[in-house]
Amino acid sequence: MANVISDETIEYVGILAKLELSGEEKEQAKADMGRMLDYIDKLGELDTTDVEPMSHVFPVENVFREDVVTNGDERERLLSNAPQEKDGMFVVPRTFE
């Protein structure tokens, strides 16, 4: 296996992705990611010098909306799925120090 994923990398990716893995899951994730990256490294065989990266397949451009208010008060609907709400707002763990 060419790609060896370190504990630090898995820890770091966990911070980025907000995932917390158990010890066993971590080992599995390290192995899986290493194998996937080995596999993806196959792309390196292709010479892509002067190739423009393609994010959209079609040249669809300039899709706009006009600056006109179309939405009204949908608060009740918005909050209908909230795990926890108060005073018309979503409750989250304290964010201020």
Partner 1 sequence: MSKQYETVIGLEVHVELATKTKIFCGCSTAFGAKPNTQTCPVCTGMPGSLPVLNKQVLEYAIAVGLATNCEITRYAKFDRKNYFYPDNPQNYQISQLYLPICRNGGVEIETEQGGKKTVGIHEIHMEEDAGKLIHDEWEDCSLVDYNRSGVPLIEIVSEPDMRSAEEVIAYLEKLRLLIQYLGASDCKLQEGSMRADVNLSVREAGAEKFGTRTEMKNLNSFRAITRAIEGEAERQIDLIEAGESVVQETRRWDDAKGESYAMRSKEDAQDYRYFPDPDLTPVNVSGEMLEEIRAKQPEFRTEKMARYREEFDIPDYDIEIITGEKALADLFEATVALGAQPKKVSNWIMGETLRLMKERETDASDLRFSPENLAKLIALTDTKQINSSVAKEVFEAMFEENVDPEQYVEEKGLKTVNDEGALKKTIEEVIAANPQSVEDYRNGKEKAIGFLVGQTMKAMKGKADPGAVNRMLKELL
Partner 2 sequence: MNIVDMTATQLAAAIRAGKTTAVEATEAVLAQIEKEDKKYNCYVTVDADGAFTQAKKVQERIEAGELTGPLAGVPVAVKDNICTEGLLTTCSSKILHNFVPTYTAEAVLNLQKAGAVILGKTNMDEFAMGSTTETSAYGPTKNPRNTEHVPGGSSGGSAAAVAAGECIYAIGSDTGGSIRQPASYCGVVGMKPTYGTVSRYGLIAYGSSLDQIGPLTKDVTDCAAVLEALASHDLKDSTSVSREDTDFTAALAEDVKGLRIGIPNDYLGEGLDDEVRAAVLRAADVLENKGAVVERFDLSLVEYAIPAYYTIAAAEASSNLERFDGIKYGYRTEEYAGLHNMYKKSRSEGFGEEVKRRIMLGSFVLSSGYYDAYYLKALKVKALIKKAFDAAFAKYDLILGPVAPTTAPKLGESLADPIKMYLGDIYTIAVNLAGLPGISVPCGQDSKGLPIGLQLIGDCFQEKKLLRAAYTYEQNE
Which positions touch partner 1 (CB under 8 A)? 12, 15-16, 18, 55-56, 60-71, 73-75, 78-79, 86-96
Distance CA 8, CA 30 (A): 10
CB of 61 to partner 2, least distance (A): 10
Handedness of CA 5, 11, 13, 19 (dihedral sign): positive
Residue 46 three-state SS: coil
CB of 4 to partner 2, least distance (A): 13
| 22 vs 84 by CB, closer to partner 1 | 84
